[in-house]
Structure 1
Amino acid sequence: MAVEPQKPSGARVEDEVDVVVAQGVDDEPVEANRRMFEGRAFAVVAAIAAVYAFFHIAALNGLSIRNMTGGAINLPFLPRLPMETWNFRIVHIAGALLLGFLLYSASRFDDDERRTTKPVNLVGAALFLVALWSFGVALWFGSQIRGGAMWSGMDPAIRFNEIWLYGVPLIAATVGGIVLGWMERGPRTWFSVPDLVLAVCGFAVAAYLITIYGTLMRNSTGTPFAPIGISLAAIAGTLLIMELTRRVAGLALVVIAALFLIYVFTGQYLPGFLNSPPINWARFFSQIYTDAGILGPTTAVSSTYIILFIIFAAFLQASKVGDYFVNFAFAAAGRARGGPAKVAIFASGLMGMINGTSAGNVVATGSLTIPLMKRLGYPARSAGAVEAAASTGGQIMPPIMGAGAFIMAEVTGIPYQEIAIAAIIPAILYFVSVYFMVDLEAAKRGMRGMREDEIPKFSRLIRQVYLFIPIIILIAALFMGYSVIRAGTLATISAAVVSWLTPFRMGPRAIVKAFELAGVMSIQIIAVCACAGIIVGVISLTGVGSRFSNLLLGIAAASQLLAMFFAMCISILLGMGMPTTAAYAVAAAVVAPGLVNLGVPVLTAHFFVFYFAVVSAITPPVALASYAAAGISGAKAMETSVTSFKMGLAAFIVPFMFFYNGALLMDAEWIAIIRATLTAVVGVFLLSCAVQGWFLGLAAAWFIRAGLLAAALLMIEGGLATDLSGILLAAAMYFIQRVFRPRPDALMPVKGAD
């Protein structure tokens, strides 16, 4: 269920012929600050969520309100579909603000019944009337403009009305609603007055901007002719987006966005490449809520591709396909040594196609795989680290690749299909590297696989392989030349059809439920994308991105490798503590243009920063995926993040591999692609042996590990001479290990030891 109480997901192992291993991996986790509505409140919010999700799939497929109802709707805040692009994105954000503030409280709920004090309720009611006033004024402006009124930012009367009748009440209600939200202590099962205030403020912002952007005023943003109301609406909208992001994604992204906003007005006082020209607040905010900022590439992607694939994921969840994916992984890999760890790799890759966050992937599959890994002898930190590293790889797994790939397509203009194809070999290398790490860990600890009576029957699961049909249809449609929207819609429809072959058949009620689930699931990613849009807007409007590019060019004059290393560090630093989507969006705005100016191909440059934005989820000291895994495993968060960093170490090498060798991104002849892939896999294996200290079934001495590391690094560049040198060095290490069997420099851990 999306907004009502749920049973916790988990696993059970039964001594039956057909063992059920995975149950509930599709269930959406309920956050500590999520409201759990009941009765009429639940029905209202569920209906809003379902309509919101259906609105998107209807708009994206070119349907119209008129065709569905037989009449036109001419409200200024709800134009007929299909909508003009900017208006569609504004409504997209406003709907997420409405749902988000209804569902997510400003603070965590505890077990005790909470009661809001009477003064808070009274002030909240007053602010609610103020927010309604702003909304009504925005509609009044719209009726005036439709009546032929000339609207100009230079008109004193219009300026007065926009400031005192609309802007000041709106900002007062927004700030007051946010502050009261922090003080509010109402029950978890009912609406909060301060949050209703913020929801109305979101619609007041949308109503005004749709009205103004529907006129020629759109072209005046950033000039003295821009109505002051645009800047005031943008201030309120920015505050609302940042507050919702704090509630659903934590403080990290909000703090970074706040620092960038502070930079706008303090950059003129900073030295070096950080110095920026002075920017007037009205000019800046008149542009931030346009396609140069909040309505730019990040929201463009969240309002099209991301929301569409969230709906697709919701339909898959309704038919319990996620459970099947995990059970299939257990049947296929469970018997191998360290079985649950390899299942985590397989299952996380599959779930990554329908789950857009690394931490979400950890929660979905880790609650099952981590306890099983611990039971087989993995230390708690290793069990969590394996799941974190594997789940992070889900973000680079074609064809969906999380949300970052869609933003890459939007920013670069490269067709999504080309990006998905280019991602195949890097994704293989990532998962192969984690597999080698896991296998070597299991080998040196002497671990077994799972018994046959502990896993599902493969013969039974293979008869349900038709559950992969929606994924196959999606891939086939993409490569047949269908648009991403059309392919995603066909895959969604096929998910409903396939459900009729399962016990979880999707009738009208289940379909509505799937749309409701999609509406709720979309809130976090939409808020994150909009907040990332603030950062991207600051970067583009202040010009700091271009100055960073010049700095990178200066470093490259001394060493191109040093410049790439610097770009890697900045990409990881920008991504720490942020969801993958926001991390890549910011890195793409700051770092990627600098790499392109160095002569790096556009696709390679963006894949480079994308990879490091993704692996920031397992990079200490701030590693969201690792922290989520530590919460399940019971290990210390920092120990888990360090171990997951080691498990995913090869992922930090892969971007340098395809930087030096474009064949790994399918940019070469087939012979070169095959050779590059094979040598890269060998290099990743050698790197894993060096890191784990285990080679050819024996513990490796320090100089063997050093030689294997050198051999692996020689294979990064992809040249024939370096590849041959690496192979010869690896062969020498093989000979020494086999013939002389040097004493290892440290004792290997005993099975089950931590």
Structure 2
Amino acid sequence: MTHSNSKTIPSSETLDELTSPVVATAAVDDDPPAGNQRVFVGARHYVFATACAAYALFHLLVMNVYPLETWTYRLLHLGGGLGLGFLLYSAYGVEPDRQAEKQTPWSVTLLALAGAGTLYGAAAIAVIWGNWWLRGDAIPPSWTINSFGIPLTLGTVLAVLHGWIFGDRRIGHWTVADILLAVATVASIGYVIYFARALQMRAGMPMAQPGDMWAAITGVILILEGVRRMAGLALVIISAVFVAYAFAGPWLPGILNHSGYEPKRFFSYIFTDNGILSAPIAISSTYIVLFVIFAAFLQATHVGAYFVNVAFAAAGHKRGGPAKVAVFASGLMGMINGTSAGNVVSTGSLTIPLMKKVGYRSQTSAAVEAAASSGGQIMPPIMGAGAFIMAEITGIPYTEIIWAALIPAILYFASVLFMVDLMAQRFQMVGLPRSALPKLGDLLKQVYLFAPILVLVWALFLGYSVIRCGTLAMITAAVVSWLTPNRMGPRQFFHALDVGARMVLQLVAVCAAAGIIVGVIALTGIGTRFSALLLGIADQSQLLAMMFSMLVAVILGMGMPTTAAYAVAASVIAPGLINLGVEPLTAHFFIFYFAVMSAITPPVALAAYAGAALAQSDPMKTSVESFRIGLAAFVVPYMFFFSDALLMQGGWLDTIHVTVSALFGIYLLSSGIIGWFFGRIGWMLRALLIGGALGMLDAGLVTDLIGLSIGGGLFLFQRNVLKTADLAHGKD
């Protein structure tokens, strides 16, 4: 770790001049809009907010009051999320003062063709539904089935192209092309819902109909465009490669070879619960949307600001205080929202400027916040979406998963805390003056704001369903708000539903794209063949297989959000690891952990990039430094691989032993990386510490004694109890 010597380290007297109090406000709870996210005003705002609130309320009612048939519910979840996403997210970035551009003949022609195809297809499907609703005839007119598909698909493609070529960059307006995409979404999803029972029998089979194929092709195009707008191009490219692989199999060599599939069979198969409607969307439509709305309820009560203020009161005055606040606040915020970049933006807007004030460089400030915030996705009880998808894939109860995640999460945040504390010692970072910090005693009077989290955990361990637990926690948040100035009335309830729906749109698109990839893996059998390849590469060595799996998970995580990266990696890698004898819980946690760590792994480190934007630092240098700061955490998965007692899979004594051993090993590793162990140490002693720490990965008695001996000997050496001659010749 380097530090700019030209940077002036502020003295305590200088910081005492900080007169404005450091207090987190409600802005901490707000999610800033993405660069292409529209911000509506006036009538547009109320229309769109009402649609979002209705979308969120629909999920709560279905999950708690009026259940729907599974396919129908998932399809409504997907269609509503995509439709709202096209209206909220522009094809490209928006600008506040942008004026409407003059329409060219090419633009008008392209839009007219897109409208003609899309509206004809939508009208045909509307006739199908109307024929049933109005006449009670379940058999639609033949012309509707035979003629809607090609116009709908071509119209959708032209609407997408219009957005790419003639995108409207006004921040408060949706375009005609975006409305057409929303209409196409309703049409394609409407077809699949109408024929859902028949599709369950014929999808992916020779008896699949051309209409099934065209509706599915339209749906896939809409999903990929939605992902491009809401989550970036990388996941689109990966998904498109998998779709192409389904057709290119006969011409590919080795394990990639397969017989190939007809478009009708492939696309009808991909829009079933083996593909797009599989585990990722199943989780997105239940647990994810529930807990995202729960997070929105907590935002309405400003719990996030309270958590950040508690962190400042508890750690702000310590050496390197703002950096430690970033660690504590990100851990607390992670319990609410379970995101990386979101945590960076919310807590970093406060902690990054203060880290710079106490002497941290810009890139180091951003890197610390990014490394700390990435732990939000492994912090129980919400853990982003990872715990829910893991429970769905493995069949392991959700409560067991979050219980197993507790110690790895503690070790992660401990590793980052050790790094920032050692850095503060080495570079003499001071804390903030107590006079500028919130008073812990005053904050403890509002400790009831932790009640929603406590109710959630308590209900989970009483054995209630996850949906019931989330609902109870949501109700608790509303009740608790009446003890604060931010009482939740009808307006705040409406706002929470609106915000919750907007927050979930990206995850809907991401989970649908992950479902495409999962479907291709299942259809082509590449997952099984990849598992066989993994067995061959590892040559029956579990450790080598785990290292290979780490690389795959991190690389996937660079190209797509953590949720999708884990879902894909779990489908491809986890079966091979389990065949090698690795316990399913350990295998899945290992993969998920490294998918999360990709957020701070160069060259594509999304959390680090978010921090760099706040700190005005170089994104690539920030990502490299965030990787260094999080480096000690990279050994945690290997620790629970060698000893699953860290996942609460052993007895209490074993768990306590391996936890203490792991904490000591991580401290040694952090000291070696920073170059400070009760004083400055040179490269040889740093290498010795790192070697001792890596030896403690396997929590055995011998390796623990070696690590303790290295740490104890170096401590005595640093305290001048042992001399160099004593180390060389032995002490008499």
**TM-score past 0.5 threshold:** yes
Which residues in structure 2 correspond to 1:35-434 (within 5 Å)? Answer: 35-63=38-66, 82-110=67-95, 111-117=97-103, 119=105, 120-121=107-108, 123-125=110-112, 127-142=114-129, 147=136, 162-163=145-146, 165-182=147-164, 183-185=166-168, 187-213=170-196, 215-434=197-416
In structure 2, C-alpha distance between the alignment counterparts of 1:133 and 1:399, rounded to whole Å:
47
Q: Higher mean Cα deviation, 123-132 or 594-603?
A: 123-132
| Aligned-partner residue type, residue 279 of structure 1 | Y
Q: Distance in 1 between matches of 2:412 and 2:27?
A: 27
Contact 1:128 1:196 in 2 (8 A): no
Give the 3 Å change call, closer, same or farther, for CA 533–247 of structure 1 in structure 2.
Answer: same
Post-superposition shift, 1:267? Answer: 2.7
| C-alpha separation in 2, matches of 1:533 and 1:488 | 25
Checking the alignment, whether the CA contact within 8 Å between 1:21 and 1:456 is kept in structure 2 is no
Q: Residues 741 and 115 of structure 1: is their aligned pair in 2 closer, same or farther, counting only changes over 3 Å?
A: farther
Distance (whole Å) between structure 1 residues aligned to residue 498 and residue 542 of structure 2: 50
Separation in 2, partners of 1:481, 1:618? 36
Which SS does the other structure have where 1:642 is aligned? Answer: helix
C-alpha distance 125-500 of structure 1, shift in aligned 2 (>3 A)? farther
What's the TM-score, normalizing by structure 1?
0.90
Give the counterpart of 1:32 among 35, 40, 44. 35
- Partner letter of residue 706 of structure 2? S
> Once the 2 structures are TM-superposed, how far is the Cα of residue 40 of structure 1 from its aligned partner?
1.5
Per-residue Cα deviation, 1:173-231 (whole angstroms, up to 9, x for no partner): 11011011121326332231000000000000111000111x33311111111122122
* Distance in 2, Cα, partners of 1:728 & 1:343: 33
Task: Give the drift of 1:129.
Answer: 4.6
Paired residue for 1:529?
511
> Is structure 2 residue 719 aligned with structure 1 residue 738?
yes
Distance (whole Å) between structure 1 residues aligned to residue 609 and residue 56 of structure 2: 31
Residue in 2 that maps onto 1:493: 475
Q: Is the 8 A contact 1:19 1:453 kept in 2?
A: no
- Mapping 1:548-587, distance limit 5 Å: 548-557=530-539, 559-587=541-569
Aligned 8 A contact 2:337 2:382 in 1: no
Question: Is this contact kept in 1: 2:365–2:615, CA < 8 A?
Answer: yes
Indicate yes or no: 2:683 matched with 1:702: yes
Q: CA deviation at 1:142?
A: 4.2
Letter in 2 for 1:374: K
Q: Tell me the equivalent position of 1:679.
A: 661
Does the CA-based 8 Å contact 1:302-1:529 persist in structure 2?
yes
- Cα shift at 1:92: 0.3
Give the deviation of 1:459 after TM superposition: 1.1
Change (3 A) 1:58 1:230: same
Paired letter, 1:380: S
Q: What's the offset of the Cα at 1:449?
A: 0.8
Question: Which residue identity lines up with residue 69 of structure 2 in the other structure?
Answer: E
Measured after TM superposition, the shift of residue 408 of structure 1 is 0.5
Aligned-residue offset at 1:381: 1.2
- Structure 1 stretch displaced more, 704-713 or 118-127: 118-127
User: Corresponding residue for 2:646?
Assistant: 664
% identical equivalent positions? 54
Measure, in 2, the Cα distance between the counterparts of 1:595 and 1:722.
25
The Cα shift of 1:143 comes to: 5.5
User: Partners of 1:568 and 1:742 in 2: how far apart?
Assistant: 40
Distance 1:404 1:457 in 2: 35
Name 1:506's counterpart in structure 2: 488
Deviation at 1:633, TM superposition (A): 1.0
Residue number among 575, 578, 589 corresponding to 1:593 in the alignment: 575
Question: Paired residues, what number?
Answer: 703
Counterparts in 2 of 1:19 and 1:618: CA distance versus 1, 3 Å: closer
| Kept after mapping to 2: 8 A contact 1:707/1:733 | no
- Supply the AA of the counterpart residue of 2:52: A
- Structure 1's unaligned 5+ residue stretches are 1-12, 64-81, 152-156, 744-754
Could you tell me how far apart the structure 1 residues matched to 2:18 and 2:489 are? Answer: 31
Q: Distance in 1 between matches of 2:313 and 2:88?
A: 38
Alpha-carbon deviations, 1:40-85, whole Å to 9, x = none?
A: 211110110000000000100033xxxxxxxxxxxxxxxxxx2101
Partner AA of 1:617 in structure 2: A
Asked whether the 8 Å contact 2:31–2:342 carries over to 1, the reply is no
Residue 620 in 1 paired to residue 602 in 2? Answer: yes
Aligned 8 A contact 1:121 1:193 in 2? no
Helix, strand or coil: the match of 1:449? Answer: coil
Counterpart residue type for residue 174 of structure 2: F
- Equivalents in 2 of 1:656, 1:459: separation in Å? 40
8 Å CA contact 2:98–2:169 kept in 1: the answer is no
C-alpha spacing 1:217/1:261, structure 2 compared with 1 (3 Å): closer
Work out whether residues 577 and 624 of structure 1, in 8 Å CA contact, stay in contact via their aligned partners in 2.
Answer: no
Distance 1:643 1:250 in 2: 24
- 1:396–1:423 Cα contact (<8 Å) kept: yes
Root mean square deviation, CA, Å: 1.9
Contact 1:93 1:526 in 2 (8 A): yes
Sort the Cα spacing of 1:116 and 1:201 in 2 relative to 1 into closer, same or farther, 3 A.
Answer: farther
8 A Cα contact 1:19 1:457, kept in partner: no
Describe the shift of the 1:405–1:741 C-alpha distance in structure 2 as closer, same or farther (beyond 3 A).
farther
CA positional deviation for 1:721: 2.4
Partner of 1:540: 522
